[in-house]
Amino acid sequence: MQSRREQVAIYLVIFIVLLVFIAGIAGYGIKPGVVYEFLILRPIRSLTDLINNFYSDAVTFFVTFSESIRDNKQLMKENARLKNAIASYETQLEILTGYYYENEELKNLLGIKNRLTFKTVGASIIFYDRINNFIVVDAGKDKNLQVNMPVIYGISNGTPVLVGRICEVEEKTARVMLINNTDFHIGVRNAVTGGIDIGEGNGKDILVKRYALSTKDAINDVFVTVEESNVFPPNIGVGKVKDIKKVSSTQNLLILSPLVDFSTIDNVLIVISYEKR
């Protein structure tokens, strides 16, 4: 450590140097006030300006940042409100669309009912089993339903198409075997070229074996029920030809797709009785 005398000597030297410096610059006409201004006041002012500018920029940044957060919160609230409004409108649209299609479906069924010469009972589908190919309707013994009664539906032009037949009946429900069920068999004919054959469900479509030499079938031909049936009324649509495969030189295998998508319908008609010719 420096001694007291050494410190005093250092301060004295600095003071002498400072006097010499001041005397020197005074010889050049530079006043002490100018030196004070240049060496002390000007750096202090520069530092003060720097601090003031920094403070001003910081205040501006925080004010802008706060306003941005406030605006973002407002936008988030508005966005949430709009999302809720859109969800509400989508729900309303879905409900109205459901009403529209149900109304169209009921109009088709009513049109069929007015045109048919047999007695029917309306019912709603309460369960659909796509894997096992059956549906359950909300009518049963309470509506005098019985096993083997045909179940039909109407497409947009009012033409009745076959859905299946009742296979089980409870007090207020009934199970309907669909026409593409593997246990479903039905007599069919080509609505244009005629000929009677047996249609069998394969789990997806209806298969019909036809003698190629005696009948002429084409893609999109429609097959209907036959008058010879003891269960189904005649001329009810069964399926449309979507593919023809040659089994042998004399026989073709026709693949019919059902005329209605069972997963899209909500109401059907059950044929209670019909007039046989």
Average pLDDT, the chain: 80
Q: State how far the Cα of 249 lies from the Cα of 154, in Å rounded to an integer.
A: 38
Predicted local confidence at residue 185, as pLDDT: 94
pLDDT in tens, 190-229: 988 888 899 999 999 999 998 876 678 899 999 999 888 8
Superfamily of domain 119-273: Rod shape-determining protein MreC, domain 1 (2.40.10.340)
Q: For the chain, how many residues are written?
A: 277
pLDDT in tens, 152-176: 987 655 678 999 999 999 999 999 9
Q: Which residue has the higher pLDDT, 139 or 192?
A: 139
Question: Looking at residues 39-67, what average pLDDT do you find?
Answer: 74
Quote the tokens at residue 243.
Answer: 């593919």
CB burial of 68-92 (b: ≥16 within 10 Å; e: otherwise) equals eeeeeeeeeeeeeeeeeeeeeeeee
pLDDT in tens, 227-271: 888 889 888 999 999 999 998 888 899 999 999 999 988 889 899
Quote the tokens at residue 102.
Answer: 């149900």
CB-based contact 212:250 (threshold 8 Å): yes
In this prediction the pTM is 0.59
Q: State how far the Cα of 190 lies from the Cα of 224, in Å rounded to an integer.
A: 7
Q: How many CA atoms lie within 13 A of 127 on its CB side?
A: 13
Question: Looking at residues 39-44, what average pLDDT do you find?
Answer: 67
Quote the tokens at residue 100.
Answer: 């529209």
Q: State how far the Cα of 261 lies from the Cα of 60, in Å rounded to an integer.
A: 66
CB-based contact 186:234 (threshold 8 Å): no
Q: Which residue has the higher pLDDT, 274 or 21?
A: 274
